[in-house]
Amino acid sequence: MADILTSLTDVSTDTRYNQLADNLAEAIRRGTLPAGSRLPSVRSSAQTHGVSINTVVAAYRRLEDRGLIEARPQSGFYVRTALPALEVQHQPHAPAAKPAEDVLDLIDTVFAAQINPAYTNLSLACPQANDFYPGAKLGRIMASLLRRQPHLIGQYALPPGNVALRQQIARRSLALGMMLETADITLTHGCMEALQLALRVTTKPGDSVGLETPTYFYLLPLLASLGLKAVEIPTDPQAGLSLDALELMLNEKRLNALIAMPTAQNPMGFTMPLAAKKRLARLMNDHQVPLIEDGLYAEIQFSDALSPAVKSFDRDGWVLFCTSFTKTLAPDFRIGWIAGGRYAEKLRKLKAVSSMSESSLLSQTLAVFLESGGYDHHLRALRRRYAAQVDEARALIARHFPQGTRATQPMGGFVFWVDFPAGVDTVVLFQQLLDEKICMTPGTLYSPSGRYRNGLRLSCCYPFNARYTAALARLGQRACEMSGLPPGLATTTAEARADETRTS
Ligand SMILES: Cc1ncc(COP(=O)(O)O)c(C=O)c1O
């Protein structure tokens, strides 16, 4: 156990118990501390780590709140039985493509509910409370910039965009293993524009684009709007995109481009293992097919050692890395960026045609914030908070959802995937819950063939207040009614039943 805990002696008590809790949570997640195992006694933990008994008690209480351990009277603290993992590979269906308009209509309904304060949102991936963003700091920087450099709002920051921000981005990219020059980067209007530009420079109407299944729902109407065909590629809940399936498609020349989220994927939460990321980069380079890497959640990884971007293994410039500051700093700024590899020059020109430029004031505000070191501090707090909220959500699912429910274990970000046992139709559930002013996103949104009726994505980017937890419990209750199964952790029988459903 000692080796999984880093030195706890040189940090404040508050940070110390959080750090101890985080390290233990990571050990539980990785299986180093398996379900049912007993944690060392409070006294011996305190001795081992050179911290006070109060610090250990606070850390254990924190883990209890996160649903990871439980206290047993007269006996000590034990790792709780985990929510059954989703192990079955998600396979694509025969392409019975549902119209992109259907997806857009459903997304419209979901977004309308999200902006209506009467609804409790369980699924959308947009952190909504102010304390998820460093709003006050950004506000101060912006006010000071406007005072000292009023010319910022009187000019176009023509593509590739504000140089100070691109310098900061290039510097920060090293943490994800990428060696980028300022000139490699073009600022975009969020990650969405980066993805769109990447598709436009790498494909032409009628081309086929590979996608993980399930995938981020907006990619489906995006491809349709560019006249592109979506080709689903199976994913494994832990290892991510099936590289064997991908290799087959590349050998058969069935793909003109691929969009993938190899780190903290939306909606599953997986991060591809390092070897798989290297193989993915090699495959794309060998076949000379562009990979559009959506790295939106890459900076919100739960482990301290960040898994590198696939772009960091890009030999000949076939990987286009797209991301934004939407999930971490300020969705309203709409500032994203793309490192376009061999397409960088084309991208820069297309950006001007697409939306001309990004705001100088907003870009410069971010540049100053990044340079101040404030971003790293903010990211550390965000990673800790999301990891804890994901644990809490999983604990609630284990308590309230029908037996046989399975869930992915995200490695970062704040979304994960839930598979219900037989009899639960999340499209019907979606409608039922809308009537109760609870909004979620049914699994069918996440694939072009409209499958995953028994799945849904959950999002943990909201404050975990009584309202959120009650809505989650209500979702579980409705699913229990629909399936006829009682709530609680899956039994062997229920798991078997869930397996039968999936394979039938
Ligand atoms: C995986 C993924 N890519 C791209 C986007 C769009 O990002 P942006 O808001 O920066 O345009 C989102 C937004 O939720 C997302 O989840």
Same domain, 362 and 414: no
In this prediction, residue 94 carries a pLDDT of 54
In this prediction, residue 138 carries a pLDDT of 96
- The mean pLDDT value for 355-371 works out to 97
Same domain, 339 and 390: no
Same domain, 473 and 333: no
Same domain, 115 and 139: no
Q: Is-contact 323 295, C-beta < 8 A?
A: yes
- Split into its structural domains, the chain has a count of 3
User: Where residue 32 sits, what CATH number does that domain have?
Assistant: 1.10.10.10
Residue 98 pLDDT class (50, 70, 90 cuts): low
- 121-179 pLDDT, tens digit each: 998 888 877 889 999 999 999 999 999 999 999 989 999 999 999 999 999 999 999 99
CA 328 to centroid of ligand 1, rounded, Å = 11
363 in any annotated domain = yes
Q: Mutate which of 197, 212, 220, 296 to test ligand 1's pocket (most atoms within 8 Å of Cβ)?
A: 296
Same domain, 109 and 9: no
Least Cα distance to 234 among 213, 265, 249, 253 occurs for 213
Least Cα distance to 297 among 278, 323, 276 occurs for 323
- 249-271 pLDDT, tens digit each: 999 999 999 999 999 999 999 99
122 in any annotated domain = yes
In this prediction, residue 29 carries a pLDDT of 79
288 in any annotated domain = yes
In this prediction, residue 372 carries a pLDDT of 95
89 in any annotated domain = no
CA 12 to centroid of ligand 1, rounded, Å = 36
450 in any annotated domain = yes
Query: Is the bond leading into 92 cis (omega within 30 degrees of zero)?
Result: no
CA 347 to centroid of ligand 1, rounded, Å = 19
In angstroms, the CA 69 to CA 35 distance is: 9
Q: Which residues line ligand 1 (CB under 6 A)?
A: 125, 190-192, 216, 261, 266, 294, 296, 324, 326, 336
In this prediction, residue 502 carries a pLDDT of 43
CA 331 to centroid of ligand 1, rounded, Å = 10
User: Where residue 476 sits, what CATH number does that domain have?
Assistant: 3.90.1150.10
- 38-69 pLDDT, tens digit each: 998 899 888 988 899 999 999 999 898 888 88
Same domain, 156 and 169: yes
Helices 13-30 and 53-65, axial angle in degrees (round to 10): 50
Same domain, 114 and 147: no
In this prediction, residue 125 carries a pLDDT of 87
Query: Is the bond leading into 273 cis (omega within 30 degrees of zero)?
Result: no
Angular region, 31: left φ>0, alpha ψ -120 to 50, beta rest: left
Same domain, 138 and 186: yes
- 320-352 pLDDT, tens digit each: 999 999 999 999 999 999 999 999 999 999 999
Same domain, 234 and 314: yes
In this prediction, residue 268 carries a pLDDT of 96
Atom of ligand 1 nearest to the CA of 194: 11
- ∠ at Cα 459 (115, 370), nearest 5°? 85
Residue 490 pLDDT class (50, 70, 90 cuts): very low
Atom of ligand 1 nearest to the CA of 325: 10
109 in any annotated domain = yes
14 in any annotated domain = yes
Atom of ligand 1 nearest to the CA of 336: 10
pLDDT beyond 60 at 456: yes
In angstroms, the CA 476 to CA 361 distance is: 45
The domain in which residue 492 lies consists of 100-130+382-503
Same domain, 123 and 166: no
Least Cα distance to 356 among 161, 151, 195 occurs for 161
123 in any annotated domain = yes
Compare 400 and 80 and report the one with higher pLDDT. Answer: 400
Token couple for 176: 């994800």
pLDDT > 90: what percent of the chain? 71
Atom of ligand 1 nearest to the CA of 265: 1
HEC letters along 253-284: CCCCEEEECCCCCCCCCCCCCHHHHHHHHHHH
Atom of ligand 1 nearest to the CA of 261: 1
Helices 374-400 and 13-30, axial angle in degrees (round to 10): 50
